[in-house]
């Protein structure tokens, strides 16, 4: 596709969006541009103090921005349920859910509910959130769910025999699994929405190699040092990295199951373009198995039937 920039975002007036991890990096850039184009953006942040500070920064650039900061910890099913219960949707619908928040290559830890931290936050948290909000997204005329994966998913594999990475934890391996899980979820959600005849679509995006706080707050030791250098030499800025997300969320012609990322070398940087997931992410058998496990672990049951026999 030709060069696409924030100026190409269609008018978002009257639309309501939820962006997770909206106070920094890609989430902040996404929130700012949606608000500039007229959307009401609900900023779902683990720290509401940081969220309010980010909202103030956006308002300085876009005084008419309609922003609402809400507390959301994707590592806590209780927090996710509370966020969904307290969500105030003026029109009774949610036009756009952007599953953006994530953590990367952290030391071995668990969430409040005992899940491996990266799988629990990146995948299971967003799986639960989407399930709880799906009815409101389907109430919109053309609702979209955009889930962020990563180029790292290409080297990932779902270890069903050790899904919680308890047998020899490796930070990057666990991260890759979690981002592959995001990709599988995005594809399978759209598959089930199509089978149900829904007008809502599920779309995937990834930011390439973008300079955000993921590389500085998650990794430790040599990997942290390597990524610090890589950010300076190779990474694009967060504003550019957010373009595939914004394209997936707003551009006309986007279809369910599409995946957007940068068009440059190895999808590391560049303009948004259509890319693809690895075959494992489109395997219905793998998707159905991961979906069932995710429902069991989170306790969130989707009103969407499996499409596998």
Q: What is the pLDDT of residues 101-115, one digit of tens each?
A: 999 999 999 999 999
Candidate list 175, 209, 260, 302, residue with the active-site label: 175
Window from 83-92, 193-202, 294-303 with minimum mean pLDDT: 83-92
What ranges do the domains of the chain cover? 13-209+241-298
User: What value, to the nearest 5°, has the Cα angle with vertex 201 and ends 198 and 203?
Assistant: 160
Q: What is the pLDDT of residue 153?
A: 98
The 3-class secondary structure across the chain, one letter per residue, is: CCCCCHHHCCCCCCCEEEEECCCCHHHHHHHHHHHHCCCEEEEEECCHHHHHHHHHHHHHHCCCCEEEEEECCCCCHHHHHHHHHHCCCCCCCCCEEEECCCCCCCCCCECCCCCEHHHHHHHHHHHHHHHHHHHHHHCCCCCEEEEECCHHHHHCCCCHHHCCCCCCCCHHHHHHHHHHHHHHHHHHHHHHHHHCCCCCEEEEECCCCECCCHHHHCCCHHHHHHHHHHHHHCCECHHHHCHHHHHHHHCCCCCCCCEEEECCHHHCCCCEEEECCCHHHHCHHHHHHHHHHHHHHHCCCCCCCCCCC
- State the average pLDDT over residues 232-248: 85
Instruction: Name 108's bridge partners.
Output: none
**Backbone phi, psi, residue 210, to 5°:** -120, 145
Count of Cβ atoms closer than 10 Å to residue 44 Cβ:
32
CATH number for region 13-209+241-298:
3.40.50.720
Q: What is the pLDDT of residue 271?
A: 95
Q: Could you tell me which residue, 81 or 307, shows the higher pLDDT?
A: 81
**Residue 221: pLDDT band by 50, 70, 90 thresholds?**
low
Q: pLDDT tens-digit profile of 155-211?
A: 999 999 999 999 999 999 999 999 999 999 999 999 999 999 999 999 999 999 976
pTM above 0.85, yes or no: yes
Q: What is the pLDDT of residue 229?
A: 44
**Residue 6: pLDDT band by 50, 70, 90 thresholds?**
very high
Q: pLDDT tens-digit profile of 19-35?
A: 999 999 999 999 999 99
302 is catalytic: no
Q: What is the pLDDT of residue 220?
A: 54
Window from 108-117, 214-223, 258-267 with minimum mean pLDDT: 214-223
- Cα distances (angstroms) measured from residue 74 to each of 32, 80, 127, 185, 280: 22, 6, 10, 16, 25
- Mean pLDDT, the chain, integer: 93
Residue 226 reports pLDDT greater than 50: no
Window from 63-67, 85-89, 127-131, 290-294 with minimum mean pLDDT: 85-89
- State the average pLDDT over residues 88-94: 80
Q: What is the pLDDT of residue 28?
A: 98
Residues 275 and 103 sit within 8 Å (Cβ to Cβ): no
Q: What is the pLDDT of residue 39?
A: 97
- State the average pLDDT over residues 226-255: 81
Structure-token pair, residue 17: 């969006």
Residue 251 burial (10 A CB sphere; 0-12, 13-18, 19+): middle
């Amino acid at each position: 596709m030709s060069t696409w920039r924030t100026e190409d975002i269609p008018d978002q007036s009257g639309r309501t969006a939820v962006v997770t991890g909206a106070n920094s990096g890609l989430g902040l850039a996404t929130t700012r541009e949606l608000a500039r184009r007229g959307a009401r953006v609900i900023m779902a942040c683990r720290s509401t103090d940081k969220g309010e500070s980010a909202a103030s920064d956006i308002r300085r650039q876009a005084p008419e921005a309609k922003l609402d900061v809400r507390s959301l910890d994707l590592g806590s099913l209780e927090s996710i349920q509370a966020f969904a219960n307290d969500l105030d949707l003026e029109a009774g619908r949610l036009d756009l859910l952007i599953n953006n928040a994530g953590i990367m290559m952290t030391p071995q830890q668990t969430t409040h509910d005992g899940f491996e931290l990266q799988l629990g936050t990146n995948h299971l948290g967003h799986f639960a959130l989407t399930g709880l909000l799906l009815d409101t997204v389907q109430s919109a005329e053309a609702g979209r769910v955009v889930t962020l994966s990563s180029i790292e998913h290409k080297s990932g594999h779902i270890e069903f025999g050790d899904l919680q990475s308890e047998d020899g934890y490796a930070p990057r391996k666990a991260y890759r699994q979690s981002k592959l899980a995001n990709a599988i979820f995005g594809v399978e959600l759209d598959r089930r929405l199509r089978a149900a005849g829904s007008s809502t679509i599920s779309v995937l995006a990834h930011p390439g190699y973008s300079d955000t706080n993921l590389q500085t707050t998650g990794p430790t030791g040599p990997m942290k040092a390597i990524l610090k250098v890589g950010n300076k030499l190779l990474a694009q800025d967060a504003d550019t990295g957010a373009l595939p997300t914004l394209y997936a969320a707003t551009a006309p012609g986007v279809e369910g199951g599409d995946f957007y990322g940068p068009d440059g070398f190895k999808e590391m940087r560049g303009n948004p373009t259509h890319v693809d997931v690895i075959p494992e992410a489109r395997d219905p058998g793998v998707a159905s198995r991961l979906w069932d496990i995710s429902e069991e672990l989170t306790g969130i049951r989707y009103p969407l039937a499996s499409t596998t026999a």
